[in-house]
Amino acid sequence: MWGSIIFTYSNEFHIFIVQPPNQMINFFRKIRKKLADDNKPMKYMRYAIGEILLVVIGILIALSINNWNEKRKLQIEEIKILNEYEQI
């Protein structure tokens, strides 16, 4: 299993397994192997740092989307509470 994404909706958990296409894995594997075999450590280091940066950027994007969604949920709940208060 390469990874999984868990979505929650109405107290139900949905797990989706996300797997990259084999062609993509082979493509990156060939690049890594070529850079390592050519004995060019600077190129390999640049490639490795680039991959790490991509992962970090992806995590930061996911966190910002999560924060945005949580704020949206809180605003909806706040509006509901205010509407209930006005009706009293």
Give the type of residue at 8: T
Question: How far is it, in rounded angstroms, from Cα 33 to Cα 67?
Answer: 38
Strands 12-17 and 4-9: antiparallel
Instruction: Render pLDDT for 1-53 as a digit per residue (tens, 0 to 9).
Output: 444 444 455 555 555 555 556 666 777 777 777 777 777 777 778 888 888 99
How far apart, in Å, are the Cα atoms of 26 and each of 13, 41, 58? 32, 21, 21
pLDDT of residue 48: 83
Residues 30/38, Cβ–Cβ less than 8 Å: no
Instruction: Render pLDDT for 42-80 as a digit per residue (tens, 0 to 9).
Output: 777 888 888 899 889 989 999 999 999 999 999 999 999
